[in-house]
Amino acid sequence: MIDHHRRARDIVRKMTVKEKVAQLSAVWLNIEEDGTFSFRETHDGFIRESRGNPKTILRHGIGQITRPLGTRPIDGAAGVRGLNRIQKYLVENTRLKIPALAHEECLPGLMAKGATLFPSSLNYGSLCDEELVGKIGAAIGSDLSSAGSWQGLAPVLDVSRDAC
């Protein structure tokens, strides 16, 4: 059995400062199916795109890829192929071979072209059906993991509640 805690400690011990900073960083990419990408930057409150050279931008690794499928309309399968190529690059061409954590917006469903969207989660409380809400969550989770993302952003806070 793999001791994940020991492995994590060993990797952190081997990391350079630049690799540690890279793992704490995120990039917002517009990914193409062939794995090439442009990246989005915010400058003075405006978003601009720049062409990226993976060997330069990802040379020390990267901790997180922001919305690889939801940044712009891209066919889901093509987006996943592009994300997989970037992950392959990270695992095969960076010193410590650490893949990135990809995240997507998923409050009403995976926010990607062609994905299933459910009614706004603000309406779920009025359903009074916890089992149905659980099934919706499971469907969203399945879509999310099939797209290569293991972190779903769904910012909701239940600040008041009436019993059904």
Domain for residue 36, yes or no?
yes
Specify the number of domains making up the chain. 1
Domain for residue 46, yes or no?
yes
pLDDT at 162 over 60: no
Domain for residue 12, yes or no?
yes
| Whole-number Å distance between alpha carbons of 117 and 54 | 32
Domain for residue 162, yes or no?
no
Q: Which domain holds residue 125?
A: 4-153
Enter the tokens of residue 120.
């706004």
Domain for residue 96, yes or no?
yes
Dihedral of CA 70/76/79/84: which sign? Answer: positive
| Whole-number Å distance between alpha carbons of 115 and 147 | 10
- pTM score: 0.79
Domain for residue 161, yes or no?
no
Per residue in 76-132, pLDDT (tens digit) is 888 888 889 889 989 999 999 999 999 898 888 888 888 888 988 777 777 788 899
| Whole-number Å distance between alpha carbons of 124 and 136 | 10
pLDDT at 157 over 80: no
Per residue in 8-65, pLDDT (tens digit) is 999 999 999 999 999 998 888 888 888 777 777 665 655 555 565 667 778 899 999 9
pLDDT at 147 over 60: yes
pLDDT at 163 over 60: no
Domain for residue 67, yes or no?
yes
